[in-house]
Amino acid sequence: MTSPKPPIPKLSKPPIPKRPFRDSAIFYGVITVAFVVIVALTGGSLTLAIPVALACFVVATGYAWWKFRQRIRLEEENEAP
């Protein structure tokens, strides 16, 4: 007979940064620049790397902003009386 498994505790979410939208844009901007620099240093095609890096920046930043907005709205709804 197997013993019941103890419940897995839920981890609390880290607090939302003071400026989440700016912070995520800066973070993904740095990654974008690093990607292009690495491609340039290794002799890759910059005509391909720059559009790919910009597209990844737009998608990643947009997703981060969307998730932050969802979380901020959810927290505001939970705080409302």
- 63-75 pLDDT per residue, tens: 999 998 998 888 8
Distance CA 52, CA 62 (A): 15
Residue 78: predicted pLDDT: 81
For 67-75, which contacts have Cβ atoms below 8 Å and span 24 or more sequence positions?
Answer: 68/16, 68/20, 68/21, 68/24, 71/13, 71/16, 72/16, 75/16
Residue 1 in this model has a pLDDT that exceeds 70 = no
The whole-model pTM stands at 0.74
pLDDT band at 34 (very low <50, low <70, confident <90, very high): very high
Question: Tell me, what DSSP letter sits at residue 42?
Answer: T
Q: Which residue has the tokens 């990654």?
A: 31
